[in-house]
């Protein structure tokens, strides 16, 4: 907590705005939108690598969160005060940091995959600043941030350097899909067991079920796209803009609208994120493959 108190001591309105700006790039909305744009419009293979890193590390982080159940810094020390504007997005347990994991999975994977030095430098600066922002804002401890960052980087390195050729070999598609599916199912079962046993509160099980639902959607959607759709990202600039705007608009509508339709049970959260990912990976590419010309 001493480092967090040091950061609290140097807070001012300019720093508050600066670090709130950086922390936005670690939020679920930004990371998912970035993966969507990469996948639909830029580089499908890179998007797959980012998605594998993001979902695999994300499921691990959720498992660690509900296993260790570490409270937020202001709960550990009631005398400590976070930046109020950051508390709203600080859901779930503190250890490890979800924002740090998400941003490191995104920017870390891009840095490892890129051959351009300036891209690597920018990406490293981004995930380091996002990690620092979580501590400056007072919503995570150094242990939360460092653990999430190391875990995400290890997974990103494995995806880029060790499993690269394995992931791209179509003969392995079913095995990879089944493994991801099984991991997501186990995470759901674990969260439901802890919740049913009275160990885990509903609000803490929510994030876990959302992540696992997205993992299920990715495991199935990735296999379907690879085997039966195999779309091309190339299109004219106006078509790319249209593709991005429509796809993101529908994704945001699904994320919010399905909550009204399905409700807010743990099962509903799982189904909602499953449908959202299936839209991104399978349904929308099927549509624009048919109607958008290169």
What is residue 289's three-state secondary structure?
A: helix
Task: Tell me: do 183 and 225 sit in the same domain.
Answer: yes
Closest-CA residue to 7 (of 61, 86, 92):
86
Domain shared by 3 and 131, yes or no: yes
Note the pLDDT of residue 284. 96
Residues 285, 212: one domain?
yes
Q: Residue 1 — pLDDT band, cuts 50, 70, 90?
A: confident
Domain boundary among 140, 165, 190: 165
252-273 pLDDT, tens per residue?
Answer: 999 889 989 999 899 999 999 9
pLDDT in the model for residue 293: 59
Per-residue pLDDT at 145 exceeds 80 = yes
Residues 122 and 178 in one domain: no
pLDDT in tens, 57-80: 999 999 999 999 999 999 999 999
pLDDT of 209 reads: 94
Query: Do 82 and 192 share a structural domain?
Result: no
Same domain, yes or no, for 186 and 102? no
Mean pLDDT of the chain: 93
Task: Please tell me the distance from the alpha carbon of residue 280 to that of residue 294, in angstroms, as a whole number.
Answer: 20
The per-residue pLDDT for 294 is 53
Same domain, 107 and 224: no
Do 273 and 135 share a domain, yes or no? no
Residue in the block written with tokens 């909305």: 29
- φ, ψ (nearest 5 deg) of residue 140: -145, 150
| pLDDT value of residue 164 | 74
Block residue for tokens 């449908």: 275
* CA–CA separation, 285 and 40 (whole Å): 7
pLDDT of residue 289: 86
- In this predicted structure, what is the pLDDT of residue 92? 82
Between residues 164 and 23, which one has the greater pLDDT?
23
The Cα–Cα gap between 264 and 287 comes to 29
Neighbouring CB atoms inside 10 A of 222's CB total: 22
Q: What is the pLDDT of residue 211?
A: 94
Number of structural domains in the chain: 2
CA atoms within 13 A on the CB side of 147: 17
**Contact (CB, 8 A) for 135 and 141:** yes
In the predicted model, what is the mean pLDDT of residues 175-194?
94
Structure letter (DSSP) for residue 71: P
Q: Are residues 47 and 95 in the same domain?
A: yes
Give the pLDDT confidence of 149-175 residue by residue, as tens digits: 999 999 999 998 777 777 778 888 899
For residue 278, the model assigns a pLDDT of 97
Q: Report d(CA 152, CA 115) in Å as an integer.
A: 20
Between 91 and 274, residue with greater pLDDT? 274
In the chain, the percentage of residues whose pLDDT exceeds 70 is 99
Same domain, 206 and 121: no
| Residue numbers of the domain that contains 266 | 169-294
Q: What is the structure's pLDDT at 167? A: 77
Say if residue 5 is in the same domain as residue 123.
yes
Q: Give the tens place of pLDDT for each residue, 76-117.
A: 999 999 998 888 888 789 999 999 999 999 999 999 999 999
Same domain, 27 and 113: yes
Q: Please give the C-alpha separations between residue 88 and each of 82, 139, 271, in angstroms, as whole numbers.
A: 11, 10, 24
């Amino acid at each position: 907590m001493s480092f967090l108190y040091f950061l609290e001591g140097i807070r001012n309105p300019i720093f508050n705005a600066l670090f709130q700006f950086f922390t936005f790039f670690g939020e679920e909305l930004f990371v998912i939108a970035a993966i969507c744009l990469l996948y639909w419009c830029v580089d499908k293979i890179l998007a797959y690598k980012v998605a594998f890193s993001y979902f695999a590390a994300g499921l691990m982080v959720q498992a660690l969160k509900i296993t260790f159940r570490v409270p937020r810094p202001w709960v550990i020390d009631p005398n400590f005060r976070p930046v109020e504007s950051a508390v709203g997005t600080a859901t779930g347990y503190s250890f490890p940091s979800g924002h740090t994991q998400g941003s490191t999975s995104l920017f870390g994977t891009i840095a490892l995959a890129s051959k351009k030095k300036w891209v690597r430098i920018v990406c490293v600066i981004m995930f380091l600043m996002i990690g620092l922002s979580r501590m400056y804002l007072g919503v995570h401890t150094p242990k939360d941030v460092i653990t999430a960052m190391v875990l995400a980087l290890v997974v990103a390195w494995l995806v880029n350097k060790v499993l690269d050729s394995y992931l791209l070999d179509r003969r392995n598609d079913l095995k990879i899909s089944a493994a991801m599916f099984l991991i997501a199912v186990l995470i759901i079962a674990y969260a439901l067991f802890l919740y049913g046993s009275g160990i885990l509160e509903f609000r803490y099980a929510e994030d876990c079920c959302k992540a696992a639902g997205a993992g299920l959607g990715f495991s199935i959607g990735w296999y379907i796209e690879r085997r039966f759709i195999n779309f091309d990202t190339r299109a004219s600039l106006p078509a790319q803009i249209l593709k991005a705007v429509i796809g993101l608009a529908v994704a945001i509508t699904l994320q919010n609208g399905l909550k009204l339709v399905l409700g807010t049970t743990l099962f509903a959260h799982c189904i909602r994120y499953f449908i959202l990912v299936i839209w991104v990976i399978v349904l929308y590419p099927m549509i624009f493959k048919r109607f958008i010309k290169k």
